């Protein structure tokens, strides 16, 4: 138990140090925005390097958004704010859309992995002696 406690204390110290570093960075960079603009377009916060990355970002965002909507629908049904049949219809439609987003994300992930392997294979002759 003492070893575990010492390990946890060292992890706590590391977390506290990281927290201090991050808080200092936030204080230092607070108010700094590219071009001095205060209005940030969240849709342009991340730039994708290729079409597959953009498609993966869109699929993941849609999947997470649907997850949030289903959670809200669950709460609405529990509170009696929505009839159960309407809830089922909405969840069925959203689940279908979420399935297609997840399937597309899986295909994109496979294509990205294949492209990564191909690029590694293309560089392999450079490392061989």
DSSP conformational letter for 36: G
**What is the end-to-end Cα distance of the chain in Å, rounded?**
52
Per residue in 27-46, pLDDT (tens digit) is: 887 777 655 556 667 777 77
Is the Cβ–Cβ distance between 57 and 48 less than 8 Å? yes
Provide the pLDDT for residue 44: 73
Q: How far is CA 19 from the centre of its chain?
A: 21
Provide the pLDDT for residue 3: 92
Q: Where do we find the tokens 């859309």?
A: 97
Provide the pLDDT for residue 25: 87
Provide the pLDDT for residue 129: 52
Sign of CA dihedral 119, 56, 96, 70: positive
CA separation for the pair 32, 29 (Å, rounded): 5
Q: How far is CA 73 from the centre of its chain?
A: 22
Provide the pLDDT for residue 17: 94
Percent of the chain at pLDDT above 70? Answer: 88
- Let me know if 39 is exposed, middle or buried by CB neighbors in 10 A (0-12, 13-18, 19+): exposed
Provide the pLDDT for residue 121: 82
pLDDT along the chain (129 residues), means of 10: 92 94 87 63 78 94 97 96 96 97 96 90 68
Provide the pLDDT for residue 37: 56
């Amino acid at each position: 138990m003492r070893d575990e406690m010492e390990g946890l204390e060292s992890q706590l110290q590391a977390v506290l140090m990281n927290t201090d570093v991050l808080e200092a960075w936030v204080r230092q960079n607070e108010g700094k925005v590219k071009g001095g603009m205060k209005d940030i377009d969240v849709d342009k916060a991340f730039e994708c390097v290729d079409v597959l990355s953009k498609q993966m970002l869109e699929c993941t965002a849609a999947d997470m958004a649907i997850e949030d909507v289903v959670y809200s629908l669950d709460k609405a049904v529990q509170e009696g704010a929505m009839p159960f049949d309407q809830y089922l219809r909405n969840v069925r439609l959203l689940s279908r859309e979420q399935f297609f987003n997840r399937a597309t994300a899986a295909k994109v992930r496979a294509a990205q992995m294949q492209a990564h392997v191909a690029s590694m294979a293309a560089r392999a002759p450079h490392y061989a002696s």
